[in-house]
Chain A
Amino acid sequence: MNNMFILANESKIKIHFFDFLAPIKGIYFVGVDMPPVIGLDKSLKENKTLLRSIMAEELGHHFTTIGDCIPRKFYNHSNRLYVSKVEYKALRWAANYLINDNDLKIAIQNGIHTPCELAEFFCVTSELINIKLNLISSTK
């Protein structure tokens, strides 16, 4: 977790906790003449797994979508498909960042098999585990 804060700090990303309303749990945005900002819902402080996963995903946005335009149109239907593609890129980044190939191999060799168990082991959401498993199977 600390590594992520260090990485954010090095990348000059500002991190703030804020009371967002459901269903929003996190936000990443870049404005004009200001540093990139990651906003995290305060409720995440109570949920380490979710905090790690969402924080990594927002960092993923920074490293995968910077310069891209998903401006105000985010709320429009026509851009949802584009958004989900961008989201997927960020998720992929997060999965690769939080789950190291070698650690995953070791975990599986040690009998941690199901996505649920793996999620608990890596302290991430099972969504990220599934993405990671898919990534690994498609690179082989």
Chain B
Amino acid sequence: MSRFKELRLELKLTQEKFRQQFNHEYNRSYTAAAISQFENDKRTPEISALKDFSDFFNVSIDYLLGQSNIKTEISTIALHRQDNLMDDLPPEAIERVEEFIELMRLKYQKKPTTK
């Protein structure tokens, strides 16, 4: 099952309801066919829309695209870094952070999420 569908079902929304809500909140005009294609992995939303979808579902874009298994059900995250805060983090460093988060999640999270 695609992440789109999975996340929509988690919110207990029908495809139509989701479409209306999303279009309304983010000023988009997706058709039912487009949403269905996203859900069936037949089409990937454009980059700007991905940002909105990730915002809507409250997950990372990576998770949305199936690139990462960390859903990031994280309410607060703060990193201490020893360089300019405005620079982009190297992807490997981010990966390592995700690894750590996942490790901690497995260790401490009370209800193991079934995935």
> A residues touching B (Cβ–Cβ < 8 Å)?
14, 16, 18-37, 39, 54, 57-58, 61, 65-72, 74-76, 80, 83-84, 86-87, 90
Q: Is B115 an interface residue (CB 8 A)?
A: no
A67 and B75 form a contact (CB under 8 A): yes
> B residues touching A (Cβ–Cβ < 8 Å)?
51, 54, 58-61, 72-83, 85-86, 88-90, 92-94, 96-97, 100-101, 103-105, 108-111
Instruction: Contacts A71-B72, A72-B72 given; indicate if A65 touches B78 (C-beta within 8 A).
Output: yes
Closest B residue, CB atoms, query A37: B104
B1 smallest CB distance to A (angstroms): 21
Most B C-beta atoms less than 10 A away, residue of A28, A31, A66, A80: A31
Closest B residue, CB atoms, query A61: B78
| Inter-chain contacts of A19 with B (CB < 8 A) | 96
A27 smallest CB distance to B (angstroms): 5
User: Which listed residue, A21, A28, A67, touches B77 by the CB 8 Å rule?
Assistant: A28
